[in-house]
Amino acid sequence: MDLRSILENAKTVGITGHVRPDGDCTGSTLALYNYIKKYFKDIDPFLFLEETDPSFNYLKDINEIKHEPVKDMTYDVFFVLDCASEDRIRPFSDMFKNAVKTVCIDHHVSNKGGFADFNEIQPDASSTCEVLYGLLEESLIDKDIAECLYTGIIHDTGVFKYECTSEKTMNIAGKLILHP
pLDDT digits (tens, 9 = 90+) for 72-104: 899 999 999 999 999 999 999 999 999 999 999
Rounded Cα distance, 90 and 1, in Å: 25
Predicted TM-score (pTM) of the model is: 0.96
- Residue 130: which domain range? 3-174
- State the virtual CA torsion across 57, 72, 36, 50 in degrees, nearest 10: 20
User: Looking at the domain assignment, is residue 74 inside a domain?
Assistant: yes
User: Looking at the domain assignment, is residue 141 inside a domain?
Assistant: yes
User: Looking at the domain assignment, is residue 180 inside a domain?
Assistant: no
Label residue 179 by pLDDT band (50, 70, 90): confident
Percent of the chain past pLDDT 70, that is, above it, reads: 100
CATH number of the domain encompassing residue 14: 3.90.1640.10
Give the number of domains in the chain: 1
User: Looking at the domain assignment, is residue 179 inside a domain?
Assistant: no
pLDDT digits (tens, 9 = 90+) for 103-130: 999 999 899 889 999 999 999 999 999 9
